[in-house]
Structure 1
Amino acid sequence: MGYADLFRLDGRRVAVVGGASGIGREAARALAAHGAEVLVADRDSQGAEETARLAAGETPAPGSRTGPVSVDVLDVLDEAAARQTASGWGALDGLVVTVGANVRKRIADYTLSDFDRVLALNLRAYLTLVQTTVPAMAERGGGSVVGLASMRAFQVEAGQSVYAASKAGLVQLLRTAAAEWGPRGVRFNAVAPGVVRTPLTDQIAADPQWYEAYAQASALRRWAGPEEIAGAVAYLVSDASTFVTGSVLTVDGGWTAVDGRYEPSV
């Protein structure tokens, strides 16, 4: 066993869907730094191009290719459209999906339109992307799929109903996929971040009291940067995790361990 090479991804082609910013961007950079050829897929073509430029600068292997492709996952929610999109990606060894949406409203105020939008991005998009990329991985004998869940799959708060439900559903979707494709060598895992400073958390960051309350709720007493989630993604794509499937890797600064509790003087 060449342990020094466990995290190397030389010769592997990985698509990062939602790679134009935030966790997706940093995941693409981390994968490229370990030698992967990264396909940066996002509807924000300028952001995807910038990510591809940054990722190319991380790549230590001469000749390794990293590039952007324009894709809006809301346009590939049916299988035919998704298959047409994925067919242009070529053979993949890994798929990382980081797209997501959150509409913060109490249940009584939620509209069906809100519900459909969150479920479309957070769950249905994963289904169609898996359906159209994983069979080819299985034909070649293996691959790794990583989805971005959330600590909200396990811990909730007011206003997070549909988001939390979608992330819990994603965990179960990936675990079921692990059972179905495991015999053919394809692994499926979820990363469950805590509070991470990305565009998805702009609403919280704009409120100093809310922002600080979230910072203090974890064991580390701070927010994460998106680059702190990238290592978990790289690990799950790499051979360092060849016996890891159907799992959830929680990267939340200890939030779920301490449960955001007040610490009394005892």
Structure 2
Amino acid sequence: MPNPFDLAGRRALVTGSSRGIGLAIARALLDAGAHVIVHGRDPRTVDDAVGALGSVYGTGAVSSAVFDITDEGGVIDGIRSLEAVGPVDILVNNAGMQHREPMLEVSVADFERVIRTDLTSAFLVGRTVARGMIERGGGAIVNICSVQTDLARPTIGAYTAAKGGLRNLTKAMTAEWAGHGVRANGVAPGYIRTELTQPLVDDPAFNAWVLGRTPVGRWGEPDDIGGAVVWLASDASRFVSGQVVFVDGGMTAVV
């Protein structure tokens, strides 16, 4: 019997994959046999990630893409530039940002910047890639959501609104594209230890809150996210669409 998790012969674009969770997702997809396109805005950072992955998986297993996910023209040109690599079979909308400021104080510009980066970008990249997937009759999109898809904390209102919207964007993608063979699902990480969240890990009060609020009793690691993404990108989940899988150590399952 063929391995339903095998991604050999498929090309996966992972936005924001030069570091952190995105880089871990790229490794997981490579482990499953996919050709991975590492994406970012900084050419140097992308090249470093491609070189590091290529040294492990072979230079032919990894490509690069550099474009601004919030600029429609840049997205269209960036996806078009991948034609030499081949059609994108798997899209992981991972790139995003955070902004911490009370809603009574946050500027409209900063609020809209978070929405554009964390939500509108998934729409722009998603529909650009989906056009080719629909023409070919199949593909898989995985949107990286968050526990803030379901929960809220003070000072991150824009991020919470964006990630809540990303859940319903995932459903909208399913409503319009599943009939053409394009599945869309989400993965919602809990609190993951990365270089961006290290200051929170180092904050004794916040660290204690995370450990006490998470039933498994630890922060997540970037590598904890890859398995769920591989499953949703593979034939193992061929009848799954419009769903969000929480990978949060049980945080959203308890009160």
Class of the TM-score when normalised by the shorter of the 2 chains: over 0.9
**The one of 204, 207, 222 aligned to 1:208:** 204
TM-score of the superposed pair, with normalisation by structure 2: 0.93
Partner of 1:41: 39
Q: Could you tell me which residue of structure 1 aligns to residue 78 of structure 2?
A: 85
Please list every run of 5 or more consecutive structure 1 residues that lacks an aligned counterpart in the other structure: 260-266
Would the aligned equivalents of 1:101 and 1:200 in 2 still touch at CA under 8 Å?
Answer: no
Distance in structure 2 (CA, Å) of the matches to 1:232 and 1:52: 23
2:63 pairs with 1:67? yes
**Cα deviation 1:184-224 (Å, max 9, x = unaligned):** 00000110010001244244234222122112211101100
2:11 to 13, 35, 45: 13
> CA offsets per residue over residues 12-39 of structure 1, 9 Å max, x none?
0110110011110011011011111110
Cα distance in 2, alignment partners of residues 58 and 246 from structure 1: 34
- Mapped to 1, the partners of 2:107 and 2:199 lie a distance apart of 19
Aligned alpha-carbon RMSD (Å): 1.6
The equivalent residue for 1:198 is: 194
The one-letter amino acid paired with 1:113 is: A
Q: Match of 1:73, SS? A: coil
**Any idea what SS the aligned residue of 1:224 has?**
coil
State whether residues 188 and 245 of structure 2, in contact with CA within 8 Å, keep that contact through their aligned partners in structure 1.
Answer: yes
For each residue in 1:123-147, what CA deviation from the matched residue of structure 2 results, as whole angstroms up to 9, or x when unmatched? Answer: 1111110121101101101000011
Query: More deviation in 8-17 or 192-201?
Result: 192-201
Whether 1:248 and 2:244 are equivalent positions in the alignment is yes
Equivalent-residue separation in structure 2 for 1:214 and 1:234 (angstroms): 26
8 Å Cα contact 2:16/2:40 also seen in 1: yes
Q: Name which of 49, 54, 69 aligns with 1:56.
A: 54
Q: Judge conservation of contact 2:67–2:75 (CA < 8 Å) in 1.
A: no
In structure 2, distance between residues paired with 1:139 and 1:245: 19
Judge conservation of contact 1:33–1:55 (CA < 8 Å) in 2: no
Once the two structures are TM-superposed, the CA of residue 63 in structure 1 deviates from its matched residue by 8.2
Instruction: Write the distance in 2 (CA, Å) between the matches of 1:84 and 1:69.
Output: 10
Q: Distance in 2 between matches of 1:63 and 1:152?
A: 37
Q: Does 1:27 align with 2:20?
A: no
Instruction: Provide the C-alpha distance between the structure 2 equivalents of 1:73 and 1:220, rounded to a whole number of angstroms.
Output: 34
C-alpha displacement at 1:155, in angstroms?
1.1
**1:227 alignment counterpart:** 223
* Deviations 1:230-265 (CA, angstroms, capped at 9, x unpaired): 111111111111111100010000001123xxxxxx
CA drift of 1:183 comes to 0.6
Superimposed CA distance per residue, residues 4-63 of structure 1 (whole angstroms, 9 cap, x where no aligned partner): 51111111011011001111001101101111111001113333233323433554xx88
Whether 1:184 aligns to 2:180 is: yes
- Mapped to 2, the partners of 1:217 and 1:46 lie a distance apart of 38
Any stretches of 5+ residues in structure 2 without a counterpart?
none
Question: Whole-Å Cα distance in 1 between the matches of residues 143 and 56 of structure 2?
Answer: 23
- Which residue does 1:162 correspond to in 2? 158
Task: Please give the TM-score of this superposition, normalised by the length of structure 1.
Answer: 0.90
The one-letter code matched in structure 2 to 1:137 is M
Residue 210 (structure 2) pairs with residue 217 (structure 1): no
Map 1:96-107; keep pairs closer than 5 Å.
96-107=92-103
Q: 2: distance between equivalents of 1:114 and 1:45?
A: 25
Counting aligned pairs with the same residue, the percent is: 34
State the SS of the aligned residue for 2:239.
coil
1:94 pairs with 84, 90, 93, which one?
90
